[in-house]
Amino acid sequence: MAQNFSRYFFKRLLYVLITIYFILTFNFFLFRVMPADVEDILIPKGADEATKEALREYYGLDRSYLEQYVDYLGGFLHGELGKSISVRVGAEVTEVLAVYVPNTLLLVGFGTILAVFVGVVLGRETAWRRGKLADRIGSSFFIVFYCMPTFLFALVMLMLVTHYFPSWPARGTFSDDYYDLDLFGKIIDRIQYMLLPMFALVIETIAAFSIVTRSSLIDVLTEDYMVTAVAKGLRGRQVLRAHAMPNAMLPVVTTVAINVGWVLSGSIMIEIIFSYQGLGYLTWDAVWGQDYPVMQAVFMLETVAVLFANFIADMMLFKLDPRVKV
Amino acid sequence: MTSPLASLLSAERKEKLKLLIRDGRIFWSKYKHNRTGIAGLGILVFFVSMAFLAPLIGQYDELYPPNSLEWARVNPTLSAPSADHLFGTDLYGRDIFTLTMYGARASLIVGLMASAISIILGTGVGVAAGYLGKSWDELLMRVTDFFLVIPWLPLMIVFAMLMGKSFTNVIIVIGITSWPWTARIVRSQVLSVKEKAFVVRARCIGAGSFTIVRKHIMPNVLPLVFASTILLIANAIFSESFLEFLGLGGDMISWGNMLEAAYDGHAFESYAWWWILPPGLFIIVLIMAFYLVGEATDEILNPKLRRR
């Protein structure tokens, strides 16, 4: 088992690394194949001749594609992703990212944990009461929220909150006097600002997790061994906890992993709407300022995040489900 | 009895046309009993006629802000819905009712064109992978998986930025980023059809690959593709509205554009709900309509796949 696991682990890891390599290559060629000229993309238009020359030197644009490619890959390993054009003029892209990434991590991380917890509980309770009134009401709510486009939901929410609760901090990341607060105050402040975007972000995910948990649990509940467990004299809730849930969780793990990509995409929209300074907000800034290097880095980072989420899900499935083979 | 039209059609074509009409009739006789499907179809008809009739129904022609004092004096800015302006006006004094009418055009055009691109790409890759098999299959499916794993929204944004802001580019970007699912579906269907007896027999009597794909494989793949097309359209409309909201679209009036203008024009702070709700609700309703029609079509065309 242990040996199997490490074999599986390294095989999947290799796959992830190969995919990252392909994405790097794809990114490199994307910028050189597209109709726009590389120079126009990587060098700000209004820059003076000296800056332009320095940037040309930096990216090695006068050398052959092969040399540029090798340089680009090497630069990536050293954390050099290019220089920002407009978001922070001339700064290393990694420095720019360092400011925005923690905010998104907070939002998406806590959002996902909350969504898994609430979604699984709701799914479990509706499946347990399947066919009853609570289930029918719950399930229709799941479907409505699942179909609702996230960013429209967020727009309407923002509009209502700014109108009816004008004093609530609806937009931004933290208040102006954030740095003067003590730790506890900082946490409270953060929570206040994060509440709305997180609610808008998780509502769809909660619905998705509830639907998956519910349908997978209903599948399990109709299995023969559930009847056996009841016949053995176990009470209903015990059966649910000890026999049904562990088996029903397998599809949920996969869904959570797949959803990381969705949540990241969703957070782009949400962060823009609530002016929350995360990767999504950075995307908006980069689009407006035509900051290609920053946009490219954001794209890279999000793809890698999704790949690793899938990787972790694979590992968890291997541990949870003995049927998965190397 | 040879009318000029009939003489254009060979006997074989006529037979095919008859079959097609018959299939259509059967499809409709099942479809009309599906209540949600009919509701979705009704909404679609409403939107399509809205798009066509926009110049007639729209109360005002001036759609772009002319930036003159004259204009601002004649047209009230940010006025609530009234008899003059059914949905009110925006910050630039434009009539929101007219804008919303024209916006339906953008959504429908993007929905149809983008999903056409993605269907062609997806079906092409899927059929090639499934039919050619072996190393081709391996290669094409690796590429497909690669695109499936990349988060779609950042990918679209990167493409749209590199290609430049225009309405056509929005269509192309959505088309070239949404084909992998179609390719997956088509490939699995081709794999199962390929081994069926009639395909093997066709090959035995000397039919070429092209003929087999065209006459035997495609007819079995298309119903599946068709059902997924409708969902693709819904997704394309949603993606378009978001790309336009981000400011990556062109000058064409669309609901996404309107939302962008509303957001930039601080419609939220001034509580101009009439500027946000019409485009927002119309996007949701249009997407829902496509989902309803898609579900109903899927149930009829692919009864085996029906969900519980």
- For the stretch A74-132, pLDDT in tens is 888 877 777 777 777 777 888 888 888 888 888 888 888 899 899 989 988 888 888 78
| DSSP labels, B139-200 | HHHHHHHHHHHS-HHHHHHHHHHHH-S-HHHHHHHHHHHS-HHHHHHHHHHHHHHHTSHHHH
Find the residue in B nearest to A153 (Cα): B280
Interface contact flag, B154 A158, Cβ < 8 Å: no
**CA atoms within a 13 Å half-sphere pointing along the CA-CB vector of A301:** 26
Nearest to A271 by CA among A203, A194, A204: A194
Phi/psi of residue A92, nearest 5 degrees: -60, 140
Task: Please answer whether residues B248 and B257 qualify as being in contact, where contact means their C-beta atoms are separated by less than 8 angstroms.
Answer: no
* Burial class of A265 by CB neighbour count within 10 A (0 to 12, 13 to 18, 19+): buried
CA distance B49 to chain A (A): 24
Interface contact flag, A303 B149, Cβ < 8 Å: yes
Find the residue in A nearest to B249 (Cα): A287
Residues in chain B: 308
Interface contact flag, A149 B287, Cβ < 8 Å: yes
CA distance B130 to chain A (A): 23
Could you give all domains of chain A from N- to C-terminal order, each with its CATH number?
A: 93-325 (1.10.3720.10)
Interface contact flag, B276 A155, Cβ < 8 Å: yes
Give the per-residue pLDDT at B113. 92
Residues 6+ apart with CB under 8 A from B173: B156, B159, B160, B163, B243
Q: Residue A237 corresponds to which tokens in the numbers above? A: 């809730």
B267 contacts on A by Cβ (under 8 Å): 159
Q: Residue A290 corresponds to which tokens in the numbers above? A: 């035509």
A272 contacts on B by Cβ (under 8 Å): 246
Q: What span, in angstroms and rounded, lies between the C-alpha atoms of B176 and B174?
A: 6
Please check the confidence at residue B294 and state whether its pLDDT lies above 90. no
Q: Residue A299 corresponds to which tokens in the numbers above? A: 């794209």
Residue-wise pLDDT for A149-177, tens only, equals 777 788 888 888 888 887 777 777 777 77
Average pLDDT, chain A: 81
CA distance B192 to chain A (A): 25
Interface contact flag, A30 B162, Cβ < 8 Å: yes
> pTM of the predicted model, to two decimals?
0.80
Give the per-residue pLDDT at B1. 47
Please check the confidence at residue A3 and state whether its pLDDT lies above 50. yes
Give the per-residue pLDDT at B71. 61
Please check the confidence at residue A133 and state whether its pLDDT lies above 60. yes
- Would you state the torsion angle of the CA atoms of residues B105, B110, B112, B117, taken in this order, to the nearest 10 degrees? 160
Amino acid sitting at position A312: I
Please check the confidence at residue B156 and state whether its pLDDT lies above 70. yes
Residue-wise pLDDT for B79-107, tens only, equals 777 766 777 777 776 777 888 888 888 88
CA distance A205 to chain B (A): 16
Q: What span, in angstroms and rounded, lies between the C-alpha atoms of A21 and B55?
A: 52
Q: How confident is the model at residue B114 (pLDDT cuts 50, 70, 90)?
A: very high
- Would you state the torsion angle of the CA atoms of residues B66, B69, B71, B76, taken in this order, to the nearest 10 degrees? 120
Interface of A with B in 126-185 (CB under 8 A): 147-149, 151-152, 155-156, 158-159, 162-163
Find the residue in B nearest to A304 (Cα): B150
Residue A247 near chain B (CB below 8 Å): no
Q: What span, in angstroms and rounded, lies between the C-alpha atoms of B13 and A321?
A: 55
Q: What span, in angstroms and rounded, lies between the C-alpha atoms of B152 and B141?
A: 18
